[in-house]
């Protein structure tokens, strides 16, 4: 059993384009402690012994930039670059099509913009996939969760969902390769577009296990997240993450 990693990094990062971190670079290429966010993510997965190869989906106009970052940080030969798509699902599908994986190999999909993932959580996800065929990292909800209806006057609460039933989906999300390929093919045939891989596998009728996540595994999305990530990076030891 080998483990392949897909890092979708073809987003435009439009929510990042305000405030003092405004930049022409999409967020996955911004620097955290002097190193591009994508490289931080690659470094953590490279520390996990089972990982055989990593695939990064990028926009064609970013390919050169990513290839030079990958080479500069010593990942040439360990990382393949594929063309991303207009949705995250398409970006992952393109990488999945390029994977030389056997049905019982494992694929981990990880947001390139979650650079603070730690090797222990990755290992726990791999173990959960070995046991259940499908597993994601999820963060238990601490806030009370409300379901709302959007109206012209703003949101109105329609239900309170007991928080013990809620986890926030993070990444990595891991699956047996054959299973993920079949679920993607079904989703494509049905025109279903999900915001994560688990939703694609769930609709194929497969049970997906949850591995506990951490608030430090944040998705760098909006201005301020980069400062928070830098704070975590400087103040947390690996054992706290």
Which positions touch ligand C5P (CB under 6 A)? 8-11, 28, 57, 84-88, 91, 111-113, 219, 221
**If we measure between CA atoms, which residue out of 221, 228, 112, 130 comes closest to residue 171?**
112
Cβ atoms of 158 and 147 within 8 Å: the answer is yes
User: In the block, which residue shows the tokens 């929510």?
Assistant: 15
Minimum distance of ligand C5P from residue 62's CB (angstroms): 10
Minimum distance of ligand C5P from residue 84's CB (angstroms): 5
Minimum distance of ligand C5P from residue 93's CB (angstroms): 10
Nearer to ligand C5P, 14 or 237 (CB): 14
Nearer to ligand C5P, 28 or 133 (CB): 28
Minimum distance of ligand C5P from residue 159's CB (angstroms): 25
**If we measure between CA atoms, which residue out of 136, 86, 134 comes closest to residue 110?**
136
**Got the DSSP string for 93-137?**
HHHHHH----TTSEEEE--TT-TT--HHHHHHHHHHHHHHSEEEE
Nearer to ligand C5P, 3 or 13 (CB): 13
d(CA 143, CA 132) in angstroms, rounded, equals 29
Nearer to ligand C5P, 85 or 178 (CB): 85
């Amino acid at each position: 059993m080998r483990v392949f990693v897909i890092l979708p990094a073809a987003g435009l990062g439009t929510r990042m384009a305000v405030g003092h971190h405004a930049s022409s670079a999409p967020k996955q290429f911004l620097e955290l402690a002097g190193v591009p966010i994508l490289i931080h993510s690659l470094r953590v997965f490279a520390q996990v012994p089972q990982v055989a190869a990593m695939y990064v989906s990028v926009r064609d106009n970013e390919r050169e930039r990513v290839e030079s970052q990958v080479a500069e940080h010593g990942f040439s030969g360990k990382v393949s670059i594929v063309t991303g798509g207009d949705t995250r699902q398409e970006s992952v599908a393109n990488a999945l099509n390029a994977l030389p994986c056997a049905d019982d190999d494992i694929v981990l999909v990880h947001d390139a913009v979650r650079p603070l993932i730690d090797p222990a959580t990755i290992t726990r996800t791999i173990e959960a996939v070995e046991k259940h065929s499908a597993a994601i990292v999820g963060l238990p909800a601490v806030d009370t969760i409300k379901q709302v209806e959007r109206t012209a006057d703003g949101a109105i609460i329609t239900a309170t969902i007991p928080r013990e039933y809620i986890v926030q989906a993070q990444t990595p999300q891991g699956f047996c390769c054959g299973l993920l390929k079949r679920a993607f093919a079904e989703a494509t045939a049905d025109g279903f577009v999900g915001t994560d891989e688990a939703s694609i596998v769930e609709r194929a009728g497969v049970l997906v296990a949850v591995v506990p996540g951490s608030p430090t595994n944040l998705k760098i999305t909006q201005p301020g997240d980069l400062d928070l990530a830098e704070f975590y990076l400087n103040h947390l030891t690996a054992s706290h993450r």
